[in-house]
Amino acid sequence: MTPAVAAPVLGGPALPQRRSLVTALPGPRSQEILDRKAAAVASGVGHTVPIAAVAAGGGVVVDADGNSLIDLGSGIAVTTVGNAHPAVVAAVQEQVARFTHTCFMISPYEEYIAVAEALNRLTPGDHAKKSALFNSGAEAVENAVKIARKATGRQAVVAFDHAYHGRTNLTMALTAKSMPYKSGFGPFASEVYRAPLSYPYRDGLTGSDAAARAISLIEKQIGADNLAAVLIEPIQGEGGFIVPADGFLPGLADWCRENGVVFIADEVQTGFARTGAMFASELFGVVPDLITTAKGIAGGLPLAAVTGRADLMDAAHTGGLGGTYGGNPLACAAALAAIEAYESEDLPARARALGDILGERLRALAAADPRIGDVRGRGAMIAAEFVDPATGAPDAALTSAVAKACLAEGVIVLTCGTYGNVIRFLPPLAIDDDLLREGLEVVASALAGV
Ligand code: PLZ
């Protein structure tokens, strides 16, 4: 059935950049579509913003009733370059008319190879690198672990408290939080171990003390000889935008190098200009052996990658890595256009500028309101952690009330954190400064009102 949207609405930066609500949310047309969702789509696939989107671009998402919402989530850090970015749209249109699929494992094509070359060039370190392309972040993480195991001949993998790496079987095991990601879906993959993170707001440890704590656990409970890989998000995404103390990541990476353990940075959420650097690893001075990317890589099309040391990447036998759709030509065309924009528009600098606006406003709010216990993040990846001022205990109820109040006023914000008490800000880098400021004022009054 063709969706009965009244008139075609084009997305991209040409959309009026304003917050405008013409109905309460959800409006009647969105509600009809959401009713069909409830009837036709499995309940396990939830949603947090009660609208049906019809267009998006710059800093707004437009719904089926004509409401225009400020987008401070980028579809979970995906449309970093901007939704329906004109160069991405043009590249996909050109590609879709030429060919849509051959399967790279059957008849290779240049677009995939060009994406691999760009990733090899852009990721940290000037050593020889290779890449392989996949469809989702979880698939990239699974393949990074496969590669590390094959290269080392070892099986164990260490992931961290609060980690999020995906929803497939191996990545569920790597992900820390039970509800909603794992509960009832076991048994999980074996040889996955969990180590304590550096969480400065809550543990008060220096980076090197936190690294020593994790390394001691790894040596005692696993043993370096059994360990294929240490897998970590340089700044945790779903776990609550936790920025490790200085020295934590270098401490782990050095220990990995000394012990022949593959250091894998999961940059699925932090990658591609989001944190004010092309990759967050750069902010901490670490050069990962392998790096997983997805989300921001292709301006909204599904694409993911593992990139890293050529000797490791070549450890898997021919035919050992792949998939029908991995590195689909439309996704690769989109990635090439998006990467060109990240570089030519200096989007890491744009992320830093947006981060200044976010950080300044949120820190001012925190100074005046003890319910904000911590403001943290880098670039356009900033979060506020909400607590009970008396005890410092996480306050998930306050957090979800603030997020709901923001939505009702036409501002899309996302929550995260093991305890559900963090609001994260991930605006598209194409948002206007003024629109971001307006969104933050809505957050401020939402907080004042609950
Ligand atoms: N690694 C660091 O952030 C995806 C998940 C949302 P996929 N994060 C958003 C949800 O509830 O499913 C993510 C991530 C990091 C891996 C992944 C997984 O990426 O593309 O969702 O598989």
- CB of 164 sitting under 6 A from ligand 1: yes
Q: Is there a domain that residue 3 lies in? A: no
Q: Residue 263 to residues 168, 174, 294: CA-CA distances in angstroms?
A: 21, 15, 18
Q: What is the dihedral of CA 226, 170, 300, 109, to 10 degrees?
A: 70
CB 373 within 8 A of CB 385: yes
Distance CA 391, CA 149 (A): 44
Q: Taking Cα atoms as reference points, which of 336, 270, 280 lies closest to residue 303?
A: 336
What does the alpha-carbon distance between residue 65 and residue 71 come to, in Å, rounded to a whole number?
A: 17
Q: Are residues 113 and 34 in the same domain?
A: no
Same domain, 178 and 290: yes
- The phi, psi pair for 331, rounded to 5°, reads -65, -40
Same domain, 266 and 249: yes
Does ligand 1 come within 6 angstroms of the Cβ of 141?
Answer: yes
pLDDT at 10: 84
Whether 7 maps to a domain, the answer reads no
Ligand 1 centroid – CA 4 distance (Å): 31
Give the domain-ending residue among 302, 324, 344: 344
Whether 63 lines ligand 1, by a CB cut-off of 6 Å, is no
CB contact at 8 A, 198 and 127: no
- Phi, psi values for residue 154, rounded to 5°: -115, 165
The domain that contains 386 carries what CATH number? 3.90.1150.10
Residues 340 and 380 in one domain: no
Domain that holds residue 328: 87-344
Residue nearest to atom 19 of ligand 1 (CA): 137
Q: Is 409 in the pocket of ligand 1 (CB under 6 A)?
A: no
State residue 179's pLDDT score: 97
Site to substitute for ligand 1 among 164, 197, 241, 424, most atoms within 8 A of C-beta:
164
Is 105 within a domain? yes
Q: CATH no. for residue 118?
A: 3.40.640.10
Are 370 and 395 part of one and the same domain?
Answer: yes
Q: Are residues 179 and 137 in the same domain?
A: yes
| Residue 428, both tokens | 């598209």
Max distance between CA atoms of the chain, in angstroms, equals 64
Same domain, 48 and 62: yes
Tell the residue nearest (CA) to atom 9 of ligand 1: 76
Question: 239 CB under 6 A from ligand 1?
Answer: no
- Which atom number of ligand 1 is nearest to the Cα of residue 180? 11
Q: Which of 315, 344, 373 is the last residue of a domain?
A: 344
317 and 338 both lie in a single domain: yes
165: Cβ below 6 Å to ligand 1?
yes
**In this structure, are 180 and 137 located in the same domain?**
yes
Local confidence pLDDT in tens for the 450 residues of the chain:
455 555 667 899 899 999 999 999 999 999 999 999 999 999 999 999 999 999 999 999 999 999 999 999 999 999 999 999 999 999 999 999 999 999 999 999 999 999 999 999 999 999 999 999 999 999 999 999 999 999 999 999 999 999 999 999 999 999 999 999 999 999 999 999 999 999 999 999 999 999 999 999 999 999 999 999 999 999 999 999 999 999 999 999 999 999 999 999 999 999 999 999 999 999 999 999 999 999 999 999 999 999 999 999 999 999 999 999 999 999 999 999 999 999 999 999 999 999 999 999 999 999 999 999 999 999 999 999 999 999 999 999 999 999 999 999 999 999 999 999 999 999 999 999 999 999 999 999 999 999
Q: Specify whether 142 is located in the same domain as 215.
A: yes
Asked whether 371 lines ligand 1 (CB < 6 A), one says no
Do 338 and 262 reside in the same domain of the chain? yes
Residue 95 and residue 40 share a domain: no
- Does residue 74 form part of some domain? yes
- Cα-based distances in Å from 206 to 1, 209, 245: 58, 5, 6
**Which of 78, 133, 165 to probe ligand 1 with, by most ligand atoms within 8 A of CB?**
165
User: 344, 374, 405: which is the final residue of a domain?
Assistant: 344
Does residue 233's CB lie within 6 angstroms of at least one atom of ligand 1? Answer: yes
User: Which residues make beta-bridge pairs with 425?
Assistant: 382
The pLDDT, as a whole number, for residue 343 is 98
Neighbouring residues of 222: CB distance < 8 A, sequence distance ≥ 6:
156, 158, 193
CB-based contacts of 215, cutoff 8 Å, min separation 6: 251, 252, 255
Q: Which residues contact 170 (CB under 8 A, 6 or more apart)?
A: 141, 142, 145, 189, 192
267: Cβ below 6 Å to ligand 1?
A: no
- Looking at residue 4, its pLDDT comes to 52
β-bridge mates for residue 195, sequence order: 160
* Number of other CB atoms surrounding residue 113 within 10 Å: 15
Per DSSP (E only), the strands in 58-151 are 60-63, 68-71, 129-134
Residue 2 included in any domain: no
- How many Å apart are CA 167 and CA 174, to the nearest integer? 9
- For atom 16 of ligand 1, the residue with the nearest CA is 165
Number of domains in the chain: 2
Cα of 280 vs centre of ligand 1, distance in Å, is 16
